[in-house]
Amino acid sequence: MAARLMGWWSPRAGLRLFISEELARYRGGPGDPGLYLALLGRVYDVSSGRRHYEPGAHYSGFAGRDASRAFVTGDYSAAGLVDDVSDLSFSEMLTLQNWLSFYEKNYEFVGRVIGRFYGEDGLPTPELTHVEAMITKGLEASKQELKEKQKFPPCNAEWRSTRGSRFWCSPNRIFLICPSYTFDLSLPPASP
């Protein structure tokens, strides 16, 4: 699968496993051992981005826990800062994959959380396998959507108080809407 090919789920030597209570000690406050967050069970040291995640900062709710759901929903309440992503759509799973890529690129991976996504052995759970399958399906759907947009380009619309509404399509779209319509592409477009 796409995610597995990128090495996100594969075991690493010297892998550190956290339980939720242990991870909760890493919120970046005075006396805390560090500043970590988890996404889909993967733990990252976000100390270099302290201004974003430390207590009182905008994203402080992510620190010391796996709040995967909030990365998509933006719900920073106690009910939203959870790891349950089981009901998310394909496109929302792709958003999680994008966040995972961001953390892989910008922060140090330090371990995994035992729970929803990884077992006590550090290996993926069926829940993570489901997420991975959803991401793969989302990638396939995204590719199909791009093909459809190339085949059927969207039209455009705008409104201005000085001249009202304007609607236009690319020349490729006009042929799809009005197959018998012909025009000279060498001429400049007509002004409204």
Q: Tell which wins on pLDDT, 105 or 187.
A: 105
Nearest-10 crossing angle of helices 126-151, 90-106:
110
Residue 76: how many other CB atoms lie within 10 Å: 15
Q: Which long-range contacts (CB under 8 A, 24 or more apart) does 83-86 make?
A: 83/38, 83/40, 83/41, 83/113, 83/115, 83/116, 83/117, 84/116, 85/40, 85/131, 86/127, 86/130
What amino acid is encoded at 33 in this protein? P
Model confidence at 182, in pLDDT bands (50, 70, 90)?
low
160-185 mean pLDDT:
65
Distance separating the N- and C-terminal Cα atoms of the chain: 50
* Residues with Cβ within 8 Å of residue 190, at least 6 apart in sequence: none
Q: Tell which wins on pLDDT, 5 or 69.
A: 69
Distance CA 122, CA 11 (A): 7
Model confidence at 62, in pLDDT bands (50, 70, 90)?
very high
pTM metric for this prediction: 0.72
Q: Where are the domains of the chain?
A: 2-149, 153-192
Count how many residues are written for the chain.
Answer: 192
35-53 mean pLDDT:
98
| Assigned architecture for domain 2-149 | Roll (3.10)
